[in-house]
Amino acid sequence: MELYELNLWMLIEGLKSGKFSAPEVFDSCKKRIDKCEGNIHALITRTDDKTPDFSTEGTFAGIPTILKDNLCTKGIRTTAASKILGNWKPPYDATAWTRLKDSGAVLMGKSNMDEFAMGNTCGNSAFGPTHNPNDITRVPGGSSGGSAAAVSAGYVPFSLGSDTGGSIRQPASFCGVYGLKPTYGMVSRYGLISYGSSLDQIGPFARTVRDLQLVMSVISGHDPMDSSSFRDKAHDFTYRENVSVKGKRVAVVKEFAGFTLDAPISDAMKRTLKILEDEGAIITEVSLPVVSKYAVACYYALAMSEAHTNLERYDGVRLGYTVKDAVGIKEMFERVRSYGFGAEVKARIIAGTCLTEPSRCEEYYVAATKVRTLIAQEFSRAFEGTDYILQPVTPSLPEKIGESDDDAMKGYEADLYTLPVNLAGLPGLSFFTGYAGNIPVGLQLIGPRWSDSELLDAGIILERHLGGPKIANGGIN
């Protein structure tokens, strides 16, 4: 077995025991990237051009990783997959990366994504689309598709992405890896380029649930630089062999029962419920009528309004791309933003501008904030009688690259399964269930706020029964 094929916890144990060295791990991962990147295009920027200093001690000493390109890295190009940021090099690090770097992690590169995290195919990038490493004719999911594809193909044992409405869970499902969208506030957002500030959350991808626990033990915790990060919650992400779901109540959503699912996803739901029942869990049902009727409209009203506000700062004056021959400030703004933003980003900015206009704000944006409260309350009531909710990540397997261009509504329909989690600030675990041919099939388990560690414990049990993913071939025969 090549070193790049080892999971995170295996690499940590091997490095500590001296079975192999950090330079050997680095070299193995670098060769894997060299071999597959031409087919997958998971990265925007590579930082593996020279051997790093491996002298740092810590939990992840010598472990390679990749960050989504909306996480700031001091002195390293950070683009959010947009032309408007050009070759911007941040003057500071995102807190999540600071904590990984302080623990000894080695950065291999910055991953491709949908521009400013707006999309679900990893095709809305100024740098071109990323391909699913299990089948390079298909999408890897978005917006964190590059981070998921990199882990799936064996570039690194883990990576970081961000999830605003499913952007970790969907690509994890499509690429056949595990992905955790933590409770809002569990991981600092400092240094994350914002899309929707009240929805965005940084989280990890890995090939085992145990690896997710290791990453969360390093990146979670209060950060004084982020006023939304939690202060008084104690969370233990220690791996435990003897975990159990006996007596736990696992629910499916009543309103989703009649929705059409691809056969492999429907079969995976039945198989997973049987596993949980055999493990002693009580299978039940919850009703989420507000979520099922209003979550998608509520989400887009809020997300586009926040995007409109967050993206106002990109004007060609303070950072990123600019023009020097414009006649007046108005022309400069028009030219910078017309060239710098892609079509999807422009559409969401325009929609957000309309939604927050004084004459419409009360009717749309303010109304959406009230509906969001109702959605959070509905989830709270549901979790009074259940411990977890099991549901699909998407209703279908990953489509062929370009298919969504002909059916723009397809992505919005799939959002119903993921974005309510962000509206309520809940944790969601996307887990691997097997393959349909060579295409991975994933589901998600949702828990109440601050149940992240318990959610991962349940994931350990599911992984034990369902098995783990294999390294994708990356289009190499």
- Strand 178-181 to 428-436 pairing: antiparallel
**What is the distance between the alpha carbons of residues 162 and 148, in angstroms, rounded to a whole number?**
11
State the Cα–Cα distance between residues 408 and 196, nearest whole angstrom.
Answer: 21
Distance CA(62)–CA(103), nearest Å, equals: 9
* Cβ proximity of 91 and 74 under 8 Å: yes
Residue whose C-alpha is closest to residue 68's, from 168, 190, 140: 168
DSSP per residue over 386-442, as a string? -SEEEEES-SSPPPBTTGGGG-THHHHHHGGGTHHHHHHT--EEEEEEEEETTEEEE
Mark whether 359 is an active-site residue.
no
Catalytic residue (one of 68, 110, 181, 248): 68
Q: Name the catalytic one among 167, 173, 229, 305.
A: 167
Distance CA 166, CA 455 (A): 17
DSSP string, 332-390: HHHHHHHHHS-HHHHHHHHHHHHHTSHHHHIIIIIHHHHHHHHHHHHHHHHTTS-SEEE
To the query of whether residue 68 is one of the catalytic residues in this protein, the response is: yes
Is 55 one of the annotated active-site residues of the chain? no
Contacts for 31-37: CB closer than 8 Å, 24+ residues apart: 31/4, 32/2, 32/4, 32/153, 32/154, 32/155, 33/108, 33/109, 33/155, 35/474, 35/476, 36/133, 36/153, 36/154, 36/155, 36/474, 36/475, 36/476, 37/155
Strand partners, 162: 202
| Options 28, 111, 143, 173, the catalytic residue | 143
Q: Residue 374 is encoded by which pair of tokens?
A: 């109702």
Residues belonging to the active site:
68, 143, 167
